[in-house]
Structure 1
Amino acid sequence: MTAAPHRRESAPDGWQALTEATERAEKVLAALPGPVRRTAEQRAEAEAAKNAARARRARFLDEHADTVYDRLTEGRTRHLRIDELVAAASGAFPGLVPTEEQLAQERSRPQADKEGHEIDQGIFLRAVLRSSSAGPHLLDAMLRPSDRARRLLPEFLRTGVVEMEAVRLERRDGVARLTMCRDDRLNAEDEQQVDDMETAVDLALLDPGVRVGLLRGGEMSHRRYRGKRVFSAGINLKYLSSGDIPLVDFLLRRELGYLHKLVRGVRAEDSGLWHTRHIEKPWVAAVDGFAIGGGTQVLLVLDHVIAASDAYLSLPAAKEGIIPGVANFRFSRYAGPRLSRQVILEGRRIWASEPQARLLVDEVVEPREMDAAIERAVARLDGEAVLVNRRMLNLAEEPVDAFRAYMAEFALQQALRLYGVDVIHKVGQFAAGEP
């Protein structure tokens, strides 16, 4: 764990102290039983060793984040996504972030039996995103089309249809219709859904035949909602309890990937587009049943939201112990600070039939009228003037640097929350109680 930094270049100040603290922590952990089998004294010993190394790591990155990032990206000439960036850092700066072997061991364990190595990824990514030079470069890398979308684009351009495990994408009459189709789990979000959603959003944005995007939940096979449409049940708490909700590939990729692309668009790779760096489209959402947690978070980045009159919205993440993505940054813009606190801190549920729901949705219609309302909405948003005004609204309402500052702190705070004793207890209870 003490190999020299990238390319054998001279180590920055503080590197030796960091590697020594990392080695000490690893020796302490190696001598102890696994997390769930530790006594109170052993847990305190482990935490003290990890916190000593994390304090050194944070101080080192406060001073050298730009140097580290520039070495990893070859002077910001390479555009590494967050998963590629942390993997590169693991190889070039041993001890700065967890190794692939450490992460693989963690992924094989339930959340309660992990050491929390992802917290070190959060420390690293917070420092990168805080930087006024490295941070914007990383955001730009995350707005580029995914490799999977690039591979699927020719087929989608030809057929207008892509079927994925969690999302079905169809182009019809200039509208990209994204249907979330995890019918057995109420569109509860996991790593696969994030990958499918980013792929679908990329394809919709890259297709010149698409003028407007539509997001809706499909019909469910889940026994409680069989045959009914549902928008989203939010994060899959069973997967969180079992250790299958990663920080980088789910929580951060979701926010910096497809959700940010819904706001900013996909990075244009055509040099002929001299007047813009991004390809953007207006988006409509149709909420059937409910939009819980991550479902409501999605609505905050879309341009027009239609809700069935019997639907509801909620953000229960605080009750679960985690942070509801970027909702803390965006929700007040729509609903104001008082309602934001009621929904985010106290778990208040907003029914579409309530007057205050109109702060969050644009139309409330009877369930039987949803299809007609959707077609009217996509027709209203189909126009060049809509597109440019949307861009200017997003620039005014969500400045890029403000978003970056939020995501920097989110990267660390959400990592810490994943390993909170209260979170592990609550999601464990949920997983044990659900059929």
Structure 2
Amino acid sequence: MSDRASHQEEDLRARAPGFGGDLAADADALARHAADTERMLAHLPPRPARTEAESDQAARLHEGCRAARHAFLTRHAEAVYDGLTSGRTRQPRLTDLAAEAAVRFPGLVPDAAQLAEERGRLQAHKEGREIDQGIFFGALLRSPTAGAHLIESMLCPAPGSAARLAEFRRTDRLELDAVLLERRGEAAHVTFRNGHCLNAEDNRLIADLETAVDVVLLDDRVRVGVLRGGPVTHPRHAGKRVFSAGINLKELRSGAISFVEFLLGRELGYVNKMARGLLRDGPAAGGTATAGKPWVGVVDSFAIGGGMQLLLVLDRVIAEEGAFLSLPAADEGIVPGLGNLRLTRLTGARTARQIILSGRRIHTDDPAAALLVDEVLPAAALDGAAERAVRDLAAPAVAANRAMLTLAEEPVDLLRTYLAEFAVVQARRIYSPDVLAKTERHWARSERAAT
């Protein structure tokens, strides 16, 4: 690094904004500081071409600006959120909220041009601007008022779900790119169709699953939802059903896994809707009420990572003999969604630590499987077991009682507090050197296997 660049960096640190408490003045100060930081970053080569000294300088510049964002949000998170939601009278989704924040509060989160510049780069070649989104959403979720409203907002049906509901009601079938939804009596069967990658989760599957879950919850003919993985085309399992291989590590390596739409949006979107239901007009206080339904999971072959996380919000889990469950967080290097919050209450602390920290797999013949799976059956008996589960859970009182169980086991404030830290930690983990190295090794192994 040149002496001139060093002096500029020291001058920037010396002029780090000290926020006085006035929102407008502090927002202006943050915008100036962020703009100065961006001008210095623009003098550096793209990330993959930087020397070690230039990489260190970029990291210091980013961290200095992130510290300023954190300090600003510590003072103003609730005021920012109220401004973006018109005093909590609007319920924007995460993507819309972040986009508006970039316009209303320049420098607080990456803007459209910065995100577009990052899009299409390998994860290891990005500046890591999603970390700034994690800081933003973490601060909002730490606020009891803003955080609760944000969680509630994400329980609203996603855009386009109402139109898909109309289609489903006409034909009892909805074909999305990565999901098939079919009504069979009182049950709606959601089948994952990402067969080329063992039904691993990517941006497309997450979006399709939220649409499917919305439709299941909105259709008053449906009393129970059923999740199952469809047949896959992967050479090692060709033609077999697989529940899910978790996050698509190839997509993560290529930079195609979105923090807002996937990693955070998944937890606040379709997974939380399965746990809590949809926000719909009703007689409850404030004019809203959640409408939830019971869910059954049928696990063929394995449920890894995000696949296993889904089982933790289901009401009945049926597994094929010889299947296994795992949360390979220690191997992948990322946080396994809300697994850390939900697993302990099912398995106890010791087993949860073995699964999450040491990568222990739970096979269906393992005594610990009884803590996570209700029935273990031969593959030929799974369909019949799913039908019995639907009959058991279709009684009108089931939905009310599962809502009370969720309230007792996972109060919204507990969820909010966890998600506030998850947003920050996960955003940093997906750019950490160990995760980037592991995704590169996984990609290299898969490339060798393909040849």
Which TM bucket (shorter chain)?
A: over 0.9
The corresponding residue for 1:407 is 419
Q: 1:13 to 1:334 in 2, by over 3 A?
A: farther
Question: 1:127 corresponds to which residue?
Answer: 139
Q: Deviations over 1:95-128 (max 9, x none)?
A: 0000111001111210010000111111110111
Shift of the 201–186 alpha-carbon distance from structure 1 to 2, 3 Å rule, reads same
Indicate conservation of the 8 Å contact 1:318/1:324, yes or no: no
Matched, 1:332 2:344: yes
Deviation of 1:13 (Å): 5.2
Which residue of structure 2 aligns with residue 357 of structure 1?
369
User: Partner of 2:129 in structure 1?
Assistant: 117
Superposed counterparts of 1:70-85, under 5 Å? 70-85=82-97
Give 5+ residue unaligned stretches, structure 2.
1-21
What is the aligned partner in structure 2 of residue 312 from structure 1?
324
Match of 1:224 among 217, 221, 236: 236
CA contact (8 A) 2:141 2:416 kept: yes
1:283 aligns with 2:314: no
Amino acid at match of 2:361: R
Kept in 2, the 8 Å contact 1:284–1:305? The answer is: yes
* Counterpart residue type for residue 179 of structure 2: V
Distance 1:302 1:153, change over 3 A: same
**Among 139, 146, 151, the residue aligned to 2:151:** 139
| Maintained 8 Å contact 1:283/1:303 | yes
Measure how far apart 1:234 and its partner are.
0.4
User: Aligned-pair RMSD on alpha carbons?
Assistant: 1.5
1:89, 1:96 within 8 Å by CA — same for their partners in 2?
yes
In 1: Cα distance, 2:284 partner to 2:394 partner: 23
Measure how far apart 1:276 and its partner are: 6.7
Within 5 Å, which residues of 2 pair with 1:71-110? 71-110=83-122
TM-score by length of 2: 0.92
Shift, 1:270, TM fit: 5.5
Preserved contact between residue 293 and residue 314 of structure 1 (Cα < 8 Å): yes
Letter in 2 for 1:383: A
2:396 aligned partner: 384
Alignment match of 1:322 (pick from 311, 334, 339): 334
1:236 to 220, 237, 248: 248
1:168 to 177, 180, 184: 180
Unaligned runs of 5+ in 1: 1-9
Partner of 2:51: 39
Residues 147-226 of structure 1: pairs in structure 2 closer than 5 A: 147-226=159-238
Asked whether the equivalents of residues 12 and 64 of structure 1 are also in contact (C-alpha less than 8 Å), the reply is no
Instruction: Look up the match of 1:5.
Output: none
Question: Deviation of residue 366 (structure 1)?
Answer: 1.6
Give a deviation string over 1:377-406, Cα, whole Å, max 9, x none. 111111112111111111000111100111
Counterpart-to-counterpart distance in 1, 2:147 and 2:426: 18
Deviation for aligned residue 1:21: 2.6
- Cα contact 1:310–1:367 (8 A) shared by 2: no
Among 254, 268, 275, the alignment partner of 2:266 is: 254
Deviations 1:123-154 (A, max 9, x none): 11011111111111111110000112112111
3-state DSSP class of the match of 1:224?
helix
Residue of 306, 311, 332 corresponding to 1:294: 306
CA contact (8 A) 2:23 2:76 kept: no
Structure 2 counterpart of 1:156, which letter? Answer: F
Paired residue secondary structure (1:277)? strand
- Paired residue for 2:73, among 61, 81, 96? 61
Alpha-carbon offset, residue 20 of structure 1: 3.2
Q: Structure 2: how far apart are the matches of 1:399 and 1:414?
A: 22
CA pair 273-70 structure 1, distance change in 2 beyond 3 A: closer
Deviation at 1:273, TM superposition (A): 11
**1:155 & 1:23 partners in 2: Cα distance?**
48
Question: Match of 2:358?
Answer: 346
Q: Quick one: which of 404, 413, 431 aligns to 1:419?
A: 431
Shift, 1:15, TM fit: 2.8
Q: Secondary structure at the match of 1:133?
A: helix
- Alpha carbons of 1:299 and 1:132: their partners in 2 closer, same or farther (altered >3 Å)? same
Distance 1:274 1:377 in 2: 35
Deviation at 1:17, TM superposition (A): 3.7
Match of residue 396, structure 1, among 374, 397, 408 = 408
Measured in 2, the distance between the counterparts of 1:43 and 1:274 equals 50
Shift of 1:19: 2.4
Q: Distance in 1 between matches of 2:25 and 2:330?
A: 39
| Cα drift, residue 275 of structure 1 | 9.4
Q: Deviations over 1:158-198 (max 9, x none)?
A: 21110011110011111010011112211011000000000
Query: What fraction of aligned residue pairs are identical, expressed as a percent?
Result: 52
TM-score (norm 1): 0.95
Residue 28 of structure 2 corresponds to residue 19 of structure 1: no
Give, in angstroms, the shift of residue 317 of structure 1. 2.2
2:81–2:140 contact (8 Å) kept in structure 1: yes
- 1:334 and 1:36 map into 2 onto residues whose CA distance is 44
Deviation string 1:244-280 (CA, Å, 9 cap, x unpaired) is 0010011111100000000110111366999970111
CA distance in 2, matches of 1:167, 1:185: 14
Partner SS for 1:61:
helix
Aligned residues: 426
